[in-house]
Amino acid sequence: MAGFLDNFRWPECEWFDWAERRNAVASVVAGALFFTGWWIMIDAAVVYPSQEMMNHSFHTCGVFSTIAFFMINAVSNGQVRGDAYGEGCFGRTGARLWLFVGFMMMFGSFIGSVWILFGAYVVPKKDVAPGLAVFFQNAFIFFSSLVFKFGRTESLWNRNFSRKKTVSPFLHRTSMGVFDNCLVLLELKNEPFKEKKRLKSAVTNNGGKISFVVSKQCSLVVTNSLSNLSSTRLRSIQKLQTPVVGLDYVYNCVERGVLLSVDGYKMEASSASSTPPPPVSSPRKGPLTHKGQRPEVSASL
């Protein structure tokens, strides 16, 4: 049931590249909704300035909705899933608790605005314009928060970021980026924080970019165990035929200074085993190559 919309596709627009501009569009839409909500409330406060027309305590809902907006979008989906490379103060549990409190505050403010509309204006048969202003303010902020949180994709966050210039000597064995034009997804739930950071640096400091979702642009998935991959992610990997490799593949590529073939490092996503097969002595040309070279494959650092 979870993947019943996987095969549903909208007609593709030739004049608009939605995949590349998704984050920008979602941010603009969310900003417009947020601005509209506050603009309506400010306009109502100017038109109905007295306490009798609109109780000043009704502004509390909008304030808490705004706070909830920042709380919900302060944590990434990767932090909630435990896939992030910075554990923060409280780790995955703290991120989930923070997100839960943010959503509870958002829903509470929205429900409170509905109560204000009907309890303070509709039932007493007063002018409903101030009540509608409170309701629409919280409704627009509510939907702007959802659009900004779920309308963007984290795989595009690092696409336009510049690479760091100061890195460790181990990660700069090559003058060219080993992982140039490679989008790598790291699934390292049970790895220590230092190892996560070291592996991420090995990819990003050598030309690669980090992906948070399995997509057509994703070059490979790096994991220490297939059990870390969710069923949804496994289905996407099998559908797109994305190679899954172990941690040794990244370090060996950096050590040799060339993008190795993935044949000797592949993990079969369809298998329950989490141990990668032993490397072969003369691998065939894999889906990832480096400028036509066929380097020798070794599984040891």
Continuous segment of H or E residues that includes residue 166: none
What would the pLDDT profile of 268-277 be if each residue is shown by its tens digit?
A: 766 544 444 4
220-223 and 244-245 strand pairing: parallel
For 293, phi and psi rounded to 5 degrees? -85, 150
pTM listed for this prediction: 0.54
- Tokens encoding 184: 């790598």
Mean pLDDT in runs of 10 for the chain (301 residues)? 47 55 89 96 93 91 95 82 57 85 95 95 92 96 93 61 39 60 82 81 85 81 83 84 88 86 79 46 46 44 35
What are the domain boundaries of the chain? 20-152, 157-301
What's the first-to-final CA gap in the chain, in angstroms?
Answer: 43
Distance CA 202, CA 174 (A): 12
157-301 classified as CATH 3.40.50.620: no
Q: Which of 247, 264, 261, 245 is nearest to 301 (CA)?
A: 247
Contact of 246 with 267, CB cutoff 8 Å: yes
Contact of 220 with 245, CB cutoff 8 Å: yes
